[in-house]
Amino acid sequence: MPTTHVDPRITRTKKLLMDAFRAIAKEKKLQSITVKDITDRATVNRATFYAHFYDKYDIMDYTLSETLLNNLNDSLNVSTELNEETLCKSFITITSYIQETHNECKLNSEAYGQVVEKKVKEELEDIFLTLLVKQHTNEQRETLATTARFLSWGLYGIAKHWFHTSQLPAQIYIKQALPFLMNQNNN
pLDDT digits (tens, 9 = 90+) for 20-58: 998 998 888 888 999 999 999 999 999 999 999 999 989
- Give the pLDDT confidence score for residue 43 in this predicted structure: 95
User: Whole-model pTM?
Assistant: 0.75
- Give the pLDDT confidence score for residue 179 in this predicted structure: 78
Cβ–Cβ < 8 Å for 160, 97: no
Single-letter amino acid, residue 112: Y
Distance (Å, whole) CA 1 – CA 42: 35
pLDDT surpasses 90 at 13: yes
Distance (Å, whole) CA 105 – CA 25: 6
Distance (Å, whole) CA 113 – CA 105: 10
Q: Chain-wide mean pLDDT for the chain?
A: 84
